Structure 1
């Protein structure tokens, strides 16, 4: 089988050359273990936190030469555990490999694999709308942002898995959703998903587009990016606006002090002058209620799960690197490793 291992620690944005594809033997399931065939790999940007030589945030760190770990959907092909049968679909954090071993009763921080119901939705959605990204979007909009009907939310990285879900959840709650994305195709894709307005951060008139999209300002800023995008959003936030901080991809791989001028004085001034409420959060706290609400909205046709695919495990390094270089995909980007069944 093939697996993808970490070849070198990332310096700044990850590159495909930071990884290596290897041929190794297919493992055999022992007592209490499952052998899983990987179907889909999610190239989540948060994996970046595990790729530094020294830990900058969090506790996870990958070792050189070890398989990359990330969210996957797999199918059980051999089972020595009473809770799982051959053919079951599961979601979990496993290696970037065509097959992997899991011992559910000896699960570490990753937890045992979550069994999936293929009748509910395509199993790939367990890595997007009905998985971590969906829970994260729900937590940010509903519990942290506390968006009310009639309020406006502006979302950075809105064409991504979390951002595209956040906008649709906002619409399901009766809010007005404004998305920030890079490129005309992504912006049009957001409008097709039901966003009320968009602004293209790659366009020379981005600031003007953003002001036009937010004529009365924003009540909530769903933050995924940081950098110049956030500097343009801050002056447009209403007094008392909430800012759920989901990510800051412009600074992933940057230490405590990044390059360029110090914008903290202006940032602090905006916080104080407008009484901004800023809170970092983890999407897992949305729990089953978040997934149940999303599933209900999907059945009602209020939410469309946006997915994009590249094929073959060899494509994983380039796909992951593209997350940081501005790829053209809309929604959740997945590597399709094998066919279901």
Structure 2
């Protein structure tokens, strides 16, 4: 094994949306595990939109914060290389938050509030799915559709950012439950990919006739709106919601680079009128994930062929800064965007 490794560190806090230049790649010695510790080799790392909050100079949302000059934080799938802990053995594959680096040492008994690294069943599905369909995004999709959205057969559900990791799974869960899934995505390729995944209708928010496309896709309105974005997309959706519609809100990427007070005009008055006039039920649920049941249900549906996992993979840890930045600039990737750092074995 090599004596040094590469890691991606935060070089500057983001001014607006993250840029590749906010990070730098460094070469450092590979750490060695002590008593009760394990040495991990990173296989895949996720460039989740929610990591945006960790690179704000002023903490606005959440508790995780990356420090200048330190490896970028985030979820990864790793292989245990060396173990000095009784619960882990060399060759185990785990999911945790060891960050953007080729190797990491963790002490499972001293893990943060997320708990020790999660050991994966490598026979269930590709290990990369632990960062997507069988990880946080899958749990979030399940929570939004099943528990918060309470979708039932025959209902129409509209999903923003539907070609992303959460949205692409959420739409398929709607179909499993007997609902009608309408996806909003940017560009013809993404919209076509959603139809291929089984969505009933799509609307391209980048198209000049987006509002007309959405009205055509929702001729009788929507019972549920899974909101991942906020902004102009959500303002276009809101008038098409039925009275008493439910709105699970698990993201607002349109405002991730904005402070507590964004630029005008102030659209809150119209928003409040819509809430009252339509009797909307709006609930944010960040961090309120579906737990093990959600993962077990999704795994079962995958085994039955009722849910497919969409992934887009770029290679090399050096690709992480550009991949992460692309999440906020209308990239063309469909499903979960991952960086493959190494192969198993």
**What band does the TM-score fall into relative to the shorter chain?**
over 0.9
Q: CA deviation at 1:340?
A: 1.6
Q: For the residues of structure 2 that align with 1:5 and 1:217, how far apart are their CA atoms?
A: 46
Q: 1:145 is matched with which residue?
A: 149
**1:232-288: per-residue Cα shift (whole Å, max 9, x none)?**
000000000000000000000211111131110010000000000000003553011
**TM-score under structure 1 length normalisation:** 0.99
The gaps in structure 2 that reach 5 residues or longer are none
Q: Does residue 81 of the first structure (1) align with residue 85 of the second (2)?
A: yes
> Could you tell me whether the CA contact under 8 Å between 1:153 and 1:221 is conserved in 2?
yes
Give the whole-Å Cα distance in 1 for the aligned partners of 2:207 and 2:62: 34
Matched residue, 2:326: 322
Contact 2:136 2:289 in 1 (8 A): no
In structure 2, distance between residues paired with 1:125 and 1:282: 20
TM-score normalised over the length of structure 2: 0.98
Aligned to 1:295: 299
- Which residues in structure 2 correspond to 1:52-63 (within 5 Å)? 52-63=56-67
Determine the structure 2 residue equivalent to 1:189.
193
Separation (CA, whole Å) in 1 of partners of 2:302 and 2:66: 36
Task: Answer whether contact 1:6 1:62 (CA < 8 A) is retained.
Answer: yes
- Structure-1 separation of matches of 2:102 and 2:61: 29
8 Å contact kept, 1:132–1:283:
no
Which residue in the other structure is 1:102 paired with? Answer: 106
> Aligned to 1:67, which of 63, 66, 71?
71
Matched, 1:228 2:232: yes
Q: Which residue of 2 aligns with 1:177?
A: 181
Q: Identify unmatched segments of 5+ residues in structure 1.
A: none
3-state DSSP class of the match of 2:321? helix
> How many Å separate the matches in 1 of 2:223 and 2:288?
24
Report the Cα distance in structure 2 between the residues aligned to 1:284 and 1:275, rounded to whole angstroms.
24
Pairwise CA RMSD: 0.7
Is this contact kept in 1: 2:313–2:338, CA < 8 A? Answer: yes
